C-alpha cells in the first residue's frame, strides 16, 4: 500500500525530536518510544498520518496504549486500551468512552514526518 504523508519537514530541527523511521511503523499497529523518561505511543493510520499519545493508560496506570486496538469513531482516528477498552481520540487524547468513570485524557504530541524520519515536538499537551 502506498502512503501519502500529510506533513512538512519541521521548521527548525531544534524544536523537534527524532523518534524513528516511518518504515519502523506498521499501519494501525502501535509502537512505544521513550522521550527522556516519558513513554509515548506512535500510531500510523491508514490515511498515512502519524499520531503520538501517552503510552500510559490513565484508568489503570499501565503503559499499554501502544498495544491498543486502532479504529475510528466517525471521522476520529481512535485507539482502545487493551486493559479496560476505553476508547481515545488519537487527535486530542480525549476519552470518548469513559464507561461511567471520570473523564480522562491522554497527552498528545505534535508529529512531523520528513521523508522517512518521524519527529515529535517536545512537551506534549500535558
DSSP state of 103: P
Q: Provide the phi-psi class of 84: left if phi over 0, else alpha when psi is between -120 and 50, else beta.
A: alpha
Do residues 81 and 68 touch, judged by C-beta distance below 8 A? yes
29: number of Cβ within 10 Å? 13
CA distance 113 to 97: 30
Identify the residue whose cell numbers are 494501525.
28
pTM of the prediction?
Answer: 0.88
pLDDT of residue 123: 85
pLDDT of residue 31: 98
pLDDT of residue 125: 79
* Grid coordinates of 71: 479504529
pLDDT of residue 5: 39
Residues 6+ apart with CB under 8 A from 90: 43, 45, 51, 53, 70, 76, 77, 78, 79, 108
Domains of the chain: 13-120 (2.102.10.10)
Per-residue pLDDT of the chain (126 residues; tens, 9 = 90+): 333 334 445 556 668 999 999 999 999 999 999 998 999 999 999 999 999 999 999 999 999 999 999 999 999 999 999 999 999 999 999 999 998 999 999 999 999 999 999 999 998 874
Amino acid at each position: 500500500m502506498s502512503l501519502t504523508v500529510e506533513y512538512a519537514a519541521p521548521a527548525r530541527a531544534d524544536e523537534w525530536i527524532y523518534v524513528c523511521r516511518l518504515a519502523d511503523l506498521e499501519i494501525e499497529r502501535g509502537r512505544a518510544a521513550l522521550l527522556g523518561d516519558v513513554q509515548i505511543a506512535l500510531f500510523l493510520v491508514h490515511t498515512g498520518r502519524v499520531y503520538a499519545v501517552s503510552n500510559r493508560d490513565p484508568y489503570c496506570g499501565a503503559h499499554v496504549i501502544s498495544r491498543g486496538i486502532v479504529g475510528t469513531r466517525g471521522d476520529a482516528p481512535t485507539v482502545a486500551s487493551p486493559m479496560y477498552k476505553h476508547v481515545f481520540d488519537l487527535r486530542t487524547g480525549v476519552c470518548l468512552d469513559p464507561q461511567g468513570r471520570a473523564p480522562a485524557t491522554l497527552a498528545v504530541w505534535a508529529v512531523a514526518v520528513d521523508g522517512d524520519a518521524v519527529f515529535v515536538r517536545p512537551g506534549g499537551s500535558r
